[in-house]
Amino acid sequence: MSTVGVIGAGKVGTAIARLALAAGDDVLIAGSPNAQFLEQILAMTAPGARVASLDELADAAELTVLAVPFGKIDSVDLERFTGAVVVDAANYWEPVDGTPAILAGAGALSTSEVVQARHPGVRLVKSLNHLGYHDMDTDAAPAGSAGRRALAVAADDEEASDIVASFLDRIGFDPVHVGALADGAILQPGEALFGRFVQRAELLAVAAGRGELAA
């Protein structure tokens, strides 16, 4: 059993928590400091997960999933996670997020590169952002299952990438390393892989620029 931290108690965060709980992990969730009745919410959406502070997550979790709206990332004290493995599962949605200050001067950088540049000590890994929370509930399958859904992993830290890949496999997905954190741009909204059900060979081909997804 591992201890998994989740920052964000919305639909994505609680879906990830359910998967980790089903895999036998201990799950700690930190929600908004303004959220009321978080324990009751988790009792309904992710029974077995425990409410925790960011400090508790940083101290106890082998990996932590950042599952908050991109526009709220600057409100999370990620400096507390210096040296820790953090999965960036956030997506930038302009109608929801507007133009957050974190994007000022970002240029062509991917959103994860922007977060990494702001918090260079965090071992950031891009993953879990290119499928919907409803797909997390329905598409997870045991290792070796025919037609298992593949999920990409992009990171500059090879060991962190391997830790996240092991977690993805444990919760029901086929992990595929696609390269450095910058390569995680292919997972963002509007890109070919976003929201698409793919298996390992197809994901690898698209990531390498050798394949196109069927309509």
Question: Which tens digit of pLDDT belongs to each residue from 2-17?
Answer: 999 999 999 999 999 9
Residue spans of the chain under pLDDT 50: 215
For residue 176, the model assigns a pLDDT of 97
Question: pLDDT, tens digit, for every residue of 64-100?
Answer: 999 999 989 999 999 999 999 999 999 988 777 777 7
Superfamily for the 3-207 domain = NAD(P)-binding Rossmann-like Domain (3.40.50.720)
Q: In what order do the strands lie in the sheet with 50-51?
A: 50-51, 26-30, 3-7, 63-66, 85-88, 123-126, 150-155, 174-179
For residue 206, the model assigns a pLDDT of 87
Q: Are 74 and 114 in contact (CB under 8 A)?
A: no
Domain range list for the chain:
3-207
Q: Which two tokens stand for residue 104?
A: 């000022």
Single out the residue of 155, 159, 158 nearest to residue 181, CA to CA.
155
For residue 103, the model assigns a pLDDT of 72
What is the secondary structure of 50-115 as a DSSP string? EE--HHHHHHH-SEEEE-S-GGGGGGS-GGGGTTSEEEE-----HHHH-S-GGGTT-TT--HHHHH
For residue 169, the model assigns a pLDDT of 98
Apex 64 CA angle, 23 and 98, nearest 5:
120
State the Cα–Cα distance between residues 36 and 34, nearest whole angstrom. Answer: 6
For residue 207, the model assigns a pLDDT of 86
